[in-house]
């Protein structure tokens, strides 16, 4: 038996305390306990009895099966989907060991299917045609809409027909730059229907970032909208797209078509700048196409989408996911981690511009014929009660969000929550970063009235779906722990040398052997895929995260161990922020580190040295921040600029980030050995300038 199987076996012996809530619930919110690990929060007996996985033993049985016979386990599940042609043998093939040659992962190869067909047509055939697929809630309360599965299919088909008409073919890339309108999942599904590869770019990214992605994947068409309201602000998205398209064209790649949805209809069309021959209004063309469209059957291993994400070095990486394994994996993780039942109403607050929106707004839920709430607005507009207003309005039963939102709402006071009933809630979810125990308790006790299990799902853009997650009702939870691996996932904790450590321990989180939802490559750069993820610890997929495992086998994620910062659950590479800063004509050098931030989890702290003779000033600070906003996006704007006449470097010129992190967090007594620096006096200089 594998190592972690033994860990989870201890679960079977845990008391199944029907209705028993551990002592920690009595603990005043936010008070820290001597040992978080010892606090168990039990699901009620009623909850467990109705759950898909009602006990640790049932989980263990299924988990064992999934590890001992992955091909059999996943084939059984895959058979529940529609395949035009069944996959061949073997069910999967993999090489995760760089020492044995090229890294390769394949699932259900030879099988012909279509994920859009499985999300829509299949569910309609089984009687869900009149079920609501999407509820849309606009930025302004009272502005809303909805589509049944039948209607969603019709909208998807019209767009798919239009895309085919303008020449988009199987394998072609389509860039989508849209806010959370129903047209966003519609556009994703339309691409999938015709075998096109979508690349959604989060509509908070700047023109430069968008241009970079466009130039990398070379789409035939970019889909956007004129403008979006977010809270009290209006953002003119089409202007951003225009700038990106101009940039890209100057660099030798011109997009044929820019399909523009007229959102904010109050804004007159004439205000939107237009390039004749390239720009087309969605409403003028798409609605003219037939509401049925034949499906393009694709191989399970044909690409479904590209999603760019930040790494520790260089330009963003195009994470590539394929069709069959991703379909099976997102559907299954959604079903079990949220204990999904057909009567549920599901709301995930993530934007489709991130992986969470791909797997758990669009594909996972729709594959389960779920009813999904899509929210365009901001969670604090018109006030901090908006989320619970929406929960009551749509009778949301599964609510999935990020710790940063929980923490920011927690600060606004309990009245915003208690004003609303929230009695429809059954399950809560958390994703994006470790959820601190005090936020966990507030979420659990207040939002969920101590009734709803919290699924703290650990996963990544690269993993496609949940990797370590509670299964609600199956076992007691520990606030702040993502608990145990999902079926088929074998997490291991290794030391610096890449040796697996057993028992209670902490180290680097890796995964041994593949799972169906794993990414298959980095677009156009398989070598970078191999070096980034499979070289640090040969034989394993390395996540980039640190993790510890307690005596009961529960997993505790401790954050990134590479040069990636997690700001409000958004992944930002320090190298990207640095390269934006040094592009400023007055910035000579920059070093960026993450610091603890009360709401965002981590904040961005930038040390900058200026070009010889340039004085540091408030105007310069602002202009440096603006440069980052313009090059990456507002969410990557540094929280702090620290002027540094010199940076701590080794004699070979390497910046010592360890020291910078300590200065940034003002842990000045933990600076460690500075004697190896080329010029140790820069450290004192930096400390002296810290709060100036």
Which parts of this chain interact with ligand WT7 (CB under 6 A)? 309, 355-356, 430-434, 456-461, 482, 543-545, 557, 559-560, 566, 569, 571
Q: Which is nearer to ligand WT7, 128 or 330 (CB)?
A: 330
Q: Which is nearer to ligand WT7, 298 or 431 (CB)?
A: 431
Please answer whether residues 356 and 118 qualify as being in contact, where contact means their C-beta atoms are separated by less than 8 angstroms: no
DSSP for 516-580? TT---EETT-HHHHHHHHHSSSTTSEEEEEEEEE-TT--EEEEEESSSEEEETTEEEEHHHHHHH
Q: 381-385: long-range contacts (C-beta < 8 A, 24 or more apart)?
A: 381/139, 381/230, 381/231, 381/232, 382/141, 383/416, 384/409, 384/412, 384/413, 384/416, 385/416, 385/417, 385/419, 385/420
Residue 593, SS3 per DSSP = strand
Q: Give the nearest distance from C-beta 461 to ligand WT7 in angstroms.
A: 3
Closest CA to 524 of 308, 674, 245: 308
Q: Which is nearer to ligand WT7, 366 or 431 (CB)?
A: 431
Please answer whether residues 210 and 244 qualify as being in contact, where contact means their C-beta atoms are separated by less than 8 angstroms: yes
Q: Which is nearer to ligand WT7, 128 or 548 (CB)?
A: 548
SS3 letters across 319-365: EEEECHHHHHHHHHHHHHHCCCCCCCEEEECCCCCCHHHHHHHHHHH
Bridging pattern class, strands 112-113 and 298-299: antiparallel
Q: Give the nearest distance from C-beta 330 to ligand WT7 in angstroms.
A: 12
Residues 6+ apart with CB under 8 A from 73: 65, 66, 487, 488
Active-site residue, from 562, 563, 619, 679: 562
Q: Which is nearer to ligand WT7, 394 or 484 (CB)?
A: 484
Q: Which is nearer to ligand WT7, 111 or 353 (CB)?
A: 353
Q: Give the nearest distance from C-beta 246 to ligand WT7 in angstroms.
A: 29
Q: Which is nearer to ligand WT7, 132 or 404 (CB)?
A: 404
Q: Which is nearer to ligand WT7, 272 or 490 (CB)?
A: 490
Sign of CA dihedral 224, 230, 234, 235: negative
Q: Give the nearest distance from C-beta 176 to ligand WT7 in angstroms.
A: 18
d(CA 332, CA 73): 12
Q: Give the nearest distance from C-beta 667 to ligand WT7 in angstroms.
A: 22
Residues 6+ apart with CB under 8 A from 590: 577, 578, 581, 582, 606, 607, 608, 609
**Which residue's C-beta sits nearest to ligand WT7?**
461
d(CA 280, CA 265): 16
Q: 266-274: long-range contacts (C-beta < 8 A, 24 or more apart)?
A: 267/226, 267/227, 267/234, 269/226, 271/226, 272/226, 272/227, 272/236, 272/238, 273/238, 273/239, 273/242
CA distances for 530 relative to 199, 280, 464, 686, angstroms: 22, 41, 17, 38
Q: Give the nearest distance from C-beta 649 to ligand WT7 in angstroms.
A: 28
Q: Give the nearest distance from C-beta 680 to ligand WT7 in angstroms.
A: 33
Residue 383, SS3 per DSSP = coil
Q: Give the nearest distance from C-beta 560 to ligand WT7 in angstroms.
A: 5
Residues 6+ apart with CB under 8 A from 205: 177, 213, 353, 632, 633
Q: Give the nearest distance from C-beta 231 to ligand WT7 in angstroms.
A: 23
Closest CA to 572 of 520, 637, 643: 637
Please answer whether residues 324 and 543 qualify as being in contact, where contact means their C-beta atoms are separated by less than 8 angstroms: no
Q: Which is nearer to ligand WT7, 257 or 409 (CB)?
A: 409
d(CA 257, CA 260): 9
d(CA 384, CA 392): 14
Q: Which is nearer to ligand WT7, 195 or 464 (CB)?
A: 464
39 is catalytic: no
Q: Give the nearest distance from C-beta 381 to ligand WT7 in angstroms.
A: 23
Residue 76, SS3 per DSSP = helix
**Catalytic residue ranges:** 562
């Amino acid at each position: 038996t594998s190592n972690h199987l033994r860990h989870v076996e201890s679960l079977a012996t845990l008391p199944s305390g029907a209705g028993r809530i551990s002592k920690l619930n009595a603990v005043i919110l936010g008070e820290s306990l001597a040992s978080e690990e010892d606090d168990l929060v039990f699901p009620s007996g009623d909850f467990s009895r109705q759950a898909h996985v009602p006990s640790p033993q049932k989980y263990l049985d299924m988990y064992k099966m999934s590890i001992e016979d992955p091909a059999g386990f996943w084939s059984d599940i895959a058979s529940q989907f529609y395949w035009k042609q069944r996959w061949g043998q073997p069910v999967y093939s993999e090489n995760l060991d760089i020492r044995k040659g090229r890294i390769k992962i394949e699932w259900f190869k030879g099988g012909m299917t279509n994920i859009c067909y499985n999300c829509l047509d299949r569910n309609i055939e089984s009687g869900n045609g009149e079920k609501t697929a999407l509820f849309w809630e606009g930025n302004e309360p009272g502005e809303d809409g909805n589509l049944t599965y039948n209607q969603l299919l019709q909208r998807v088909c019209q767009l798919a027909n239009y895309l085919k008409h303008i020449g988009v073919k199987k394998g072609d890339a389509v860039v989508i730059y849209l806010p959370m309108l129903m047209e966003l999942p519609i556009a994703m599904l339309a691409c999938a229907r015709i075998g096109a590869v979508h690349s959604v770019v989060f509509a908070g990214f700047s023109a430069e970032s968008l241009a970079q992605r466009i130039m990398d994947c070379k789409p035939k068409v970019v889909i956007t909208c004129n403008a979006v309201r977010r809270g009290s602000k209006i953002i003119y998205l089409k202007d951003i797209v225009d700038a990106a398209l101009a940039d890209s064209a100057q660099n030798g790649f011109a997009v044929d078509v820019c399909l523009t949805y007229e959102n904010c209809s109050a804004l007159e069309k004439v205000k939107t700048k237009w390039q004749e021959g390239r720009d087309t209004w969605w409403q003028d063309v798409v609605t003219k196409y037939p509401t049925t469209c034949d499906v393009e059957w694709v191989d399970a291993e044909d690409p479904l989408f590209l999603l760019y994400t930040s790494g520790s070095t260089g330009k963003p990486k195009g994470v590539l996911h394929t069709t069959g394994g991703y379909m099976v994996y997102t559907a299954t993780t959604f079903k079990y981690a949220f204990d999904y039942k057909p009567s549920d109403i599901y709301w995930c607050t993530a934007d489709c511009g991130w992986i969470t929106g791909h797997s758990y707004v669009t594909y996972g839920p729709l594959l389960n014929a779920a009813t999904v709430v899509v929210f365009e607005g901001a969670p604090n507009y018109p006030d901090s009660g908006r989320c619970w207003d929406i929960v009551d309005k749509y009778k949301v039963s599964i609510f999935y969000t990020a710790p940063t939102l929980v923490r920011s709402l927690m600060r606004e006071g309990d009245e915003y929550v208690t004003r609303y009933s929230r009695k429809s809630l059954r399950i809560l979810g958390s994703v994006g970063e470790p959820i601190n125990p005090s936020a966990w308790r507030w979420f659990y006790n207040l939002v969920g009235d101590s009734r709803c299990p919290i699924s703290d799902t650990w996963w990544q853009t690269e993993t496609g779906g949940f990797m370590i997650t509670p299964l609600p009702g199956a076992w007691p939870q520990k606030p702040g722990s993502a608990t145990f691996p999902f079926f088929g996932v074998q997490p291991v904790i290794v030391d610096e040398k890449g040796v697996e450590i057993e028992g209670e321990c902490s180290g680097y989180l890796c995964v041994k052997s593949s799972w169906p939802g794993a990414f298959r490559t980095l677009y156009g750069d398989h070598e970078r895929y191999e070096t980034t993820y499979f070289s640090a610890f040969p034989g394993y997929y390395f996540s980039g995260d640190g993790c510890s495992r307690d005596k009961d086998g529960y997993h505790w994620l401790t954050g990134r161990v590479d040069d990636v910062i997690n700001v409000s659950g958004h992944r930002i590479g320090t190298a990207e922020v640095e390269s934006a800063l040094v592009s400023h004509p007055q910035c000579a050098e920059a070093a960026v580190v993450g610091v603890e931030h009360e709401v965002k989890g981590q904040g961005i702290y930038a040390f900058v040295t200026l070009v010889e003779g340039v004085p540091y000033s408030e105007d310069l600070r602002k202009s440096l921040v603006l440069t980052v906003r313009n090059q990456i996006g507002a969410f990557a704007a540094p929280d702090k600029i620290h002027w540094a006449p010199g940076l701590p470097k080794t004699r070979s010129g390497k910046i010592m980030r360890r020291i910078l992190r300590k200065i940034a967090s003002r842990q000045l007594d933990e600076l460690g050995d500075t004697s190896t620096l080329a010029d140790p006096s820069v450290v004192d200089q930096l400390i002296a300038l810290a709060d100036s």
